[in-house]
Amino acid sequence: MEVWIVFWVLCGIVSAVVASSRGASGFLGFVLGVLLGPLGIVIAFVLKPSATLPTTPTSSDGTFIKCAHCQGFTPSESRCCMNCGTALA
């Protein structure tokens, strides 16, 4: 009995590792692995990556500048950093 429980938990761990390495939710991979066993591992391989947040603007596009104090991005027309309040040069 204990061997089967260990096997299903190991399937959950493997599924979580596979899903997170492919950009999908590791928790979802774990749940699929625990509930479906080896089939959950196969499903973890085909999970699509989760939606990503928009990237932060770069200083090369000219509309944002990088604060020297907090390394955050602020619109170039600002006189102080909107993240930390430091005066911009």
Confidence (pLDDT) at 28: 87
Q: Please list, residue by residue across 18-54, b when 16 or more beta carbons sit within 10 angstroms of its beta carbon and e when fewer do.
A: bbbeeebbbebbbbbbbebbeebbebbeebeeeeeee
> Which pLDDT tens digit goes with each residue over 21-80?
888 888 888 998 899 888 888 888 887 776 555 555 554 556 788 888 888 888 888 888
Q: CA triplet 67, 58, 64: central angle to 5 degrees?
A: 55
Boundaries of every domain in the chain = 2-46, 53-89
Whole-model pTM over 0.75: no
